[in-house]
Amino acid sequence: MLRTWFSILRARLTLLVLPVLALILYTRIDQRRFAALDGSAEALRVANIASYNQQLLIAHAKGMLRTLPLLPQIREAAPSICSQLLALPEPSFLSIANLGVTDLVAYVLSSEIPLTGQINISRRQYFQQTLQMRDFGIGTYQTNRATGVPSINLAYPVTGTFLCWRHKALFV
């Protein structure tokens, strides 16, 4: 009789515990789903901020590339004077990997960073885009040949030459 009584007690306790375990499991699954949604929303927010910052940097670079050709040293592309001018410190909000001037066949004439040999950028997307459209061009993410720094390259046509700005990419 005692054995039967313990069996009944165990069955009742099991019936009491099962709903609690089910509730705990359901709550855990629900919390995990909300955490995944929250993580996705946070990742999207960070990506939007990075995208906005990149757009601002490109807009500043575009303004700078449109302004620099107004200087006679850039327009006339006197290599030694032009390189000295390009090597001046840039504003802190711009992260420039290199700034340079090329000729129409894409050989770098002047560069912020001293070059050891001739560099030709004719195959680069930003140069081809600028050459075809005769306007501001943006390249793809790549490693800069002159600096070895990952960058997004930008270019703007100047009468008879091209002004190229290599912008260091942002990492988030």
Give tens-digit pLDDT for 5-33.
667 777 777 777 778 888 888 889 989 99
Q: What percent of the chain has pLDDT over 70?
A: 75
- Mean predicted lDDT score pLDDT of the chain: 76
Q: What is the pLDDT of residue 170?
A: 30
* Complete edge-to-edge strand list for the sheet that includes strand 150-158: 108-111, 96-102, 161-168, 150-158, 137-143
* Residue 129 burial (C-beta neighbours within 10 Å; 0-12, 13-18, 19+): middle
Q: How many residues does the chain have?
A: 172
Q: What is the pLDDT of residue 171?
A: 26
Distance CA 162, CA 69 (A): 9
Indicate whether 150 pLDDT > 80: yes
- Put simply, whether the predicted model's pTM sits higher than 0.85 gets the answer no
Average pLDDT score over residue span 45-71: 86
Helical H runs in the chain? 2-67, 72-75, 79-86, 125-133
14 or 74, which is more confident? 14
Q: Report the SS3 class of residue 141.
A: strand
In CATH terms, 1-172 corresponds, of 3.40.190.10, 3.30.420.40, 3.30.540.10, 3.30.450.20, to 3.30.450.20
Query: Do the Cβ atoms of 136 and 156 come closer than 8 Å?
Result: yes
Indicate whether 167 pLDDT > 50: no
Indicate whether 46 pLDDT > 90: yes
Tokens 């800069």 belong to: 144
81 or 44, which is more confident? 44
